[in-house]
């Protein structure tokens, strides 16, 4: 009887194993499908990761201009993008002057340098990434903007307050923003697609001229001292505005 019982137990176990193997064999297609689904999910997750990386990279590229010091020169018109043939940095009452100097960005902005017989000091306040009323000022050809020319006004930055001091042997002339806000960004100089700054100025409601400069970063460590000088210049400009009659 013991041998029969052992035989029965062994047969039962073999039957169970065989049944399990047969069930697994029959479910092989289902397992294969699940593996394929897992591969699809992993592939989808990888694709989403790549897309997020591209979006984050794009947003980083479109981030506001970093604080620092930039070399400033008169913007030269690009004949492929601009209807003008200008090379000046400062236009004043019909006269055009070259410009060389520096632009310091530290929340507010300050542009200083030489423009013909003048020492130019431009203080820019009330920064905003949102175009104020009347902005942006689009001076390039229509084909320069968007996917055709690559200039994207939606990425520009603006300063709603501007005070310009022009110092010469004959004295100091003061002007304020006239018309659209001063704009900063690639193509914002109104003459080419390079990084730049531009805006109109006037006095007593009458336009007197404009500023159009191209900007390029100043390498470290010299930019640190220029940044300090620019900040000091911005402070001086505010003091002049405060105490000048």
**What digits encode the pLDDT tens for the residues 46-85?**
334 433 433 333 333 445 678 899 999 999 999 999 998 8
Q: What is the DSSP letter of 134?
A: T
User: How many beta carbons lie within 10 A of that of residue 114, not counting itself?
Assistant: 15
For the segment 129-148, the average pLDDT, to the nearest whole number, is: 93
Contact predicate 195/157, CB 8 Å: no
Instruction: Say how far apart CA 233 and CA 236 lie, in whole Å.
Output: 5
For the segment 84-106, the average pLDDT, to the nearest whole number, is: 94
| Confidence (pLDDT) at 84 | 87
Domain positions in the chain are: 2-61, 68-243
Answer whether 0.75 is exceeded by the pTM.
no
Reduced to 3 states (helix: H, G, I; strand: E, B; else coil), residue 130 is coil
| Confidence (pLDDT) at 52 | 41
DSSP string, 84-130: -----SEEETTEEE--EEEEEEESEEEEEEEETTEEEEEEEEEEESS
Higher pLDDT, 165 or 60: 165
Q: Is pLDDT at 41 greater than 80 in this prediction?
A: no
What number of helices (H) and strands (E) belong to the chain? 4, 11
**What digits encode the pLDDT tens for the residues 168-196?**
999 999 999 999 999 999 999 999 999 99
Instruction: Say how far apart CA 217 and CA 223 lie, in whole Å.
Output: 8
Q: What is the mean pLDDT of the chain?
A: 79
Q: Which of 142, 147, 208, 153 is nearest to 175 (CA)?
A: 208
| Confidence (pLDDT) at 37 | 54
């Amino acid at each position: 009887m013991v041998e029969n019982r052992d035989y029965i137990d062994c047969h039962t176990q073999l039957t169970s194993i065989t049944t399990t193997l047969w069930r697994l064999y029959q479910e092989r297609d289902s397992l294969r499908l699940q593996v394929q689904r897992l591969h699809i999910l992993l592939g989808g997750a990888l694709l989403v990761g790549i897309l997020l990386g591209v979006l984050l990279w794009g947003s980083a590229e479109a981030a506001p201009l970093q604080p620092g010091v930039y070399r400033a020169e008169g913007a030269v018109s690009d004949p492929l993008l601009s209807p003008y043939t200008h090379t000046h940095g400062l236009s004043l009452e019909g006269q055009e002057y070259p410009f060389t100097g520096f632009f310091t960005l530290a929340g507010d902005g300050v542009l200083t340098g030489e423009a013909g017989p003048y020492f130019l000091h431009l203080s820019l306040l009330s920064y905003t990434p949102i175009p104020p009323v009347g902005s942006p000022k689009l001076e390039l050809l229509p084909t320069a903007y968007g996917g055709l020319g690559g200039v994207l006004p939606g990425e520009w930055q603006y300063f709603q307050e501007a005070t310009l001091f022009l110092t010469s042997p004959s004295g100091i002339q003061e002007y304020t923003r006239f018309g659209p806000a001063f704009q900063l960004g690639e193509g914002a100089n109104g003459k080419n697609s390079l990084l730049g700054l531009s805006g109109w100025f006037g006095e007593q409601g009458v336009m007197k001229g404009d500023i159009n400069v191209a900007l390029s970063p100043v390498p470290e460590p010299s930019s640190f001292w220029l940044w300090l000088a620019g900040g000091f210049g911005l402070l001086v400009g505010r003091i002049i505005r405060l105490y000048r009659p």
